[in-house]
Amino acid sequence: MGGHGSNHGTLARNCAAALLLAVWALGDAAHASCFDVRETAFRELRPLVQRNPNRALAEANARIAALPPGAARHEPHTLAALYAVQARAYAQMTLTHPQRAAALAGLALLHNPTSPLRLELLADYAGSFTSPAPITHALLQVKQARALLRPGSRSDICLEIGQGFMNMLRNRPTAAIRELTQAYMQSTAHELPEARVDASEGLAVALRSMGDGHEALALIGRQIRWDKAHHASDDLSGGIYFKGEILRSMGRYHQAIAAFKQSSAISSAIGDRQGTAYSNLRICEADIALKDFPAARSACDRAAPVLIAGRVAAMIKETHVQLAKIDLAEGHPVRAVKLLDRVLDHHGADMVAFTVAPAYLARAEANAALHRYAAAYRDVRTYLRLYQAHNRANQTRLRQALEIRFQARQEFERNAVLRRKLRAAADKASKQKELMRWMDAAGIAGALAIALLSYILITDRRHRRQLVLLANEDPLTRVPNRGHTAQLASAALAAAIEHSRPLTVVLIDFDYFKTINDRCGHAAGDHVLQEFARLSRGALRTSDILGRWGGEEFLLVLPDATLDSALATVERLRLLALGIQIPCPQDKLDLPRVTFSAGLATTADGARTLDEIVARADAALYEAKDAGRDVVRVSRACAQSAPAPRRA
C-alpha cells in the first residue's frame, strides 16, 4: 500500500473524478514495489504490469497454467507471486472483483504475516474495496499488520501510506493527511524514494480535495518526474490527468485541456479505454467552461459509451450533466431537463457529493428557460444549500489539513532531536569504553586502574539508563512518548483481557491549540502541555498511564476503570486544565481558559487490540470536536452504558 501504496494511473484519475469510487489500488509497478518483494516472478513481471497490464495478466496466467500439479503445496511462493501480479494488473484495469479474488488466492498460500509478498497481497486486497463498511474492515486488517512491524520500517511506512488512502475513501481527509505527511517525512528521512513519491501523490489528492491547488500541483509534479524517469506509462498518464484536474479547478482551462489530451494519448497507446474516457469527460467539462460547446459535445460523446460499458454509474451521471449543459447552451432546454431529471432521480444519493450541486443549478437554469419558475426556484434553493455546505466543509478541512501537517512536521522535528541526542549519548558511551580499554592496555597501577575502571563502568551504566530514558520519554512533557505509551498500553490491555478486568482508554486533544501557538508563540503552547502533564501526574493513580500521542494529543490508559470512574478522572483533569495560565498578553489572546476535548472507549465494547480501542476512542474524539469542543464523548459501542456527555 502506499508507495506501493498507490496505483498512480488508476488512483489519480478515480480519486480526482470520484473519490468514493476510486480504487486506490495499492500497488506501483514502476517503483519496484514499496514492499521489498524478492520472488523472481513478481520482480520480472511488475514493470510489464505498469507498461501494459493486459500483457502482464496474460503472461501471469500462462505461467500459472505451466506450473506442475501440486504447486500450491510445493511452490507456494511462486504461485502467490503470480497471483500478486494478477491482482496488480486487474487493479490497473479497475477490475476490483477479480483483483480481490487474485489477492485472496495469494494470501491463502502464505503464512508469515510480515513477509513483503504477503503485505503486497494484503495491500491489493484492501485496495479492491470502494464502499465504507468493507474499507473500514480492511483498514483494521492493515492496522493489525502494522502492529507486527517495526515502527518506521520500510513496510510500516508503505502500510501507513495505504492507511492514508483508505481514510480518504472513508471521507476522513484530516486523518489521511496526518498519515500521509508522517509517511512522507519518514520516507524522506530513511531515503525511500518509492514510498516518498507515493506519499506525495496521496497528499496531492487529499489537498486537491480540500481546495489547496497550488500545493497539490507542486506535489504531483514530483510523481510525474519520477514516472517519466522510470518509463511508467500508466502511472504517468494518471499523474498528468490529475495535474489537469488541479489546473481545471484553478480556472486554467487551456492548460488543463492540454494535460488531459496528453494523458488520453498515453492511455490510448497502452489500451486503457477507461483512462481515455476519463480524460475526454474532463476535456468536455473544460470546453464548457470556455463556451466551446461543439468541442465539448464531441469529447463527452467519446467518453459516454466507454463509461456506460464500464458501468461506472456516478461517472455516467456526471457525463449526462455536462451533456445537459451543452443542450441548454445550444437552445434545447426540454432535452436538458429530461436528462437532468434522470440524473437526479435519487436526489443525488447515487452521485459523488461535489457533483450534485452543479446538477441542481443546471436544472434550475433549464427550468427557468422554460418559464417553470417555481421548479427553478426549488432547485436554486437546493443548489445554494449544497454549495454552502460544501464550501464550509472545504474551509474546515483545509484549516484542519494545514494544522495537521504543521503538527506532523513538529513531531517529526522533535523526534529528529531525540535521535540526535541518542546518537550523542551513544558516542559518549563508546568513547568511555575506548578509554577503559586504553587504560587497561597501558598497565597503569592496579589500584588506580581499578578505581578508574569502576568509575567508567558506573558512568557507562548511567549513560545506558539515560539512553533508555531518552528513547522512552517525550522530551517536552517528560511523560512516555508515543512508542513507549503504545507498549505500556498494549501490556495493560492484554492483562485486562486475560484477567477479565475493565480498562478504559481516553484520547485527549487540546482545543484551539493552534490559536495559542499562533498568537502567543510556541513557548506558550509548550507551557500548556508541560503544565498539563505535571498536574496530571499528581491526579492519577500509579497504575494509570498518561503518554504523549502526538502534537497536542495525549493518550490516557486507565486499568481497572469502568466508564463511570474514567469519566470522573477525565473531569478532574479537565478542571486542572482550566486552571493553567497561558503566558500571553491579554490583547493577543481571547481564549479565557485552557480546554480539551476527549473520546473514551472501554474493553466492555469488545475491543481486543490497542488499535481497535484507540480507533474507537478516536472516533469519539472526532464527535466531541464536532459537538463544539470542551466536550467528552464515549464510543458508540458503549454509549448506552455511559452517562450523559459532559460539557464545561
Domain at 110, CATH number: 1.25.40.10
487 & 592 share domain: yes
Domain boundary pick from 245, 277, 310: 245
Confidence bin at 586 (pLDDT 50/70/90): low
Q: What is the pLDDT of residues 286-328, one digit of tens each?
A: 999 999 999 999 999 999 998 888 776 778 888 999 999 999 9
Nearest to 78 by CA among 100, 63, 57: 63
Residue 104: its H or E element: helix 96-107
**Bridge-partner residues for 2, per DSSP?**
4
What domain count does the chain have?
3
Please answer whether residues 528 and 594 qualify as being in contact, where contact means their C-beta atoms are separated by less than 8 angstroms: yes
643: which DSSP letter? Answer: P
Residue 230: what pLDDT?
72
Residue 638: what pLDDT?
66
Alpha-carbon distance of 384 to 382, in angstroms, equals 6
Residue span of the structural domain in which 431 resides: 415-472
Residue 236: what pLDDT?
78
435 & 496 share domain: no
Q: Give the rounded distance of the alpha carbon of 358 from its chain centre.
A: 28
Domain at 499, CATH number: 3.30.70.270
**Bridge-partner residues for 505, per DSSP?**
557, 601
Angle 485-491-495 (CA atoms, 0-180°, nearest 5)?
A: 145
Task: Supply 166's cell numbers.
Answer: 483508505
Q: What is the pLDDT of residues 562-582, one digit of tens each?
A: 888 999 999 999 999 999 988
**pTM for the whole structure:** 0.49
Residue 337 located in a structural domain: no
Residue 514: what pLDDT?
87
pLDDT at 480 over 50: yes
pLDDT at 629 over 80: yes
Alpha-carbon distance of 454 to 344, in angstroms, equals 83
Residue type, 344: L
Q: Which segment, 347-356, 398-407, 561-570, is predicted with the most confidence on average?
A: 561-570
Residue 450: what pLDDT?
45
Residue 288: what pLDDT?
93
Integer CA distances (angstroms), 624 to 402, 442, 618, 633, in order: 20, 67, 10, 6
Dihedral sign (CA 9, 12, 16, 19):
positive
Task: Supply 355's cell numbers.
Answer: 457533483
Residue type, 446: G
204 & 84 share domain: yes
463 & 544 share domain: no
Torsion of CA 363, 366, 367, 369, to 10 degrees: 160
33 & 172 share domain: yes
Domain boundary pick from 245, 279, 300: 245
Residue 590: what pLDDT?
72
Alpha-carbon distance of 71 to 540, in angstroms, equals 58
584 & 457 share domain: no
Mean pLDDT for the stretch of residues 508-530: 88
638: which DSSP letter? Answer: G
Percent of the chain with pLDDT over 90: 27
